[in-house]
Amino acid sequence: MNSMDQEDMDREEQEEDMEGQQNQEAHFSALSQRIFLWPQGLFSKKEVPSFFRKPKMVRGSMIFLAVFSFLMILILYPQMLSKVTDIQTSIQTLTEILETARPQAQMMSSCLGNVNAEIQMLKKDLQNVSSESQRANSNLKNASDEVQILKRRLENASVQTQMTNSNLKSASDEIKKLKESLENTNTFHSEAQRLSSGLEKANGEIQTIMESLVNTSSLKVEVQSLKEQLENLTAQQQQQSHQSSLLQLVVQGWYFYKGKAYYFSETQKTWDEAEEFCVAHNSHLASVTSDDEQEFLSKRTNGVYHWIGLTDKDTEGTWYWVDGTPYNENKVFWNNNQPDNWPYGKGLSEDCVHTEVKWNDMLCDKPYPWICKRVTGLPEQRP
């Protein structure tokens, strides 16, 4: 401790003593024209704050830090206030966006509920079709069993017919023999009676053979009827299978128009990837052959470009449809100044086509939604 610090401490103690004396009660008396002051009791000192007990350098440092902190606050406060204002503005913007998105989310939730309800109905219809198909399969199996039984009966009847024919031939031979014997033995009456009896017997066998032939004809008619029933059941089963496949397409999101099914994707792929997807689903990227079909596609794309199956990748300027549909230059829907094969450089060329309201050629490796098209076998009429 240096001398300056010691002087400061002595001065502080003197100030404390003076402050204690000021707070004490003063008592005095007048005697011989003199006034005496004295303290009553001990001095009662107040507790001095610890700050004033510290050395002057420490107090100076603390005051400097306080002033410096105050100045820093004055400098940084406008910037902090600006950031707080920006944050409040961002919060307000996010709140408005959230309030705008909330009705849309509710509307999407309602639409999703309607779609789920339609899917449930389609599933019920599909279950009904499956149960009907099972019943048809059961009926078909029973009919097949009956056909097998009838075939066996027909085979037995054929065997009986062959035996009857053999007996008929034998009877005919015997009649011939009897006729020969009759011609040779006209003089013998007994021989005539024998021949007459043999003839009656032969007539009886002939009648039996004729009845067997009638039964065989009825069996043939019954077999023919069963074959027709079997063909009807097979056609009905094929129709139910076709209806089941159509229901599956509806559930998967396909749309139907004039006997064709169309799939409008919600994701994006390159032209080649989109064609691979369509081929995996028994279809191709869509071809367009009429004004009505182009109008139908334009309404479904909702102002968003979608890949279609038109390309000149093999030979520049020679356009063709990937599903094999002939390209008709008199029935095209190019946009103004299209196709232009925009010069990107580096060997790039616009060899694939996407459509919105009109067609436009584009680089094949650009990702876009796409449209698949397949034949359904339905009659060509609007859905």
Give the pLDDT confidence of 52-101 residue by residue, as tens digits.
667 878 878 888 888 888 888 888 878 778 887 888 888 888 888 878 87
Q: What is the mean pLDDT of residues 144-154?
A: 75
Say what the pTM is. 0.41
Pairwise CA distance, residues 143 & 35, whole Å: 147
Decide which of 278 and 253 is more confident. Answer: 278
CB 347 within 8 A of CB 314: no
Pairwise CA distance, residues 5 & 10, whole Å: 9
The number of CA neighbours under 13 Å toward the Cβ of 176 is 6
Q: Which residues contact 202 (CB under 8 A, 6 or more apart)?
A: 171, 172, 174, 175
Pairwise CA distance, residues 14 & 10, whole Å: 6
Per-residue tokens: 308 = 């279609």
Predicted pLDDT at 214: 62
Predicted pLDDT at 41: 46
According to DSSP, residue 74 is labeled: H
Q: Report which of 273, 286, 266 is spatially closest to residue 366, judged by C-alpha positions.
A: 273
Q: What is the mean pLDDT of residues 280-286?
A: 95
Decide which of 127 and 361 is more confident. Answer: 361
According to DSSP, residue 316 is labeled: T
CATH number of 255-375: 3.10.100.10
Phi-psi region of 355 (alpha: psi -120 to 50; beta: other; left: phi over 0): beta
Single-letter amino acid code for the residue at 352: C
Predicted pLDDT at 306: 96
Predicted pLDDT at 29: 44
Model confidence at 305: pLDDT above 90? yes
The number of CA neighbours under 13 Å toward the Cβ of 30 is 1
Q: Percentage of residues in the chain with pLDDT exceeding 90? A: 24
Decide which of 32 and 206 is more confident. Answer: 206
pLDDT band at 231 (very low <50, low <70, confident <90, very high): low
Element containing residue 320 per DSSP (H, E): strand 320-321
Predicted pLDDT at 244: 66
Predicted pLDDT at 38: 44
Per-residue tokens: 243 = 């209806």
Q: What is the mean pLDDT of residues 246-257?
A: 83
Element containing residue 60 per DSSP (H, E): helix 56-184
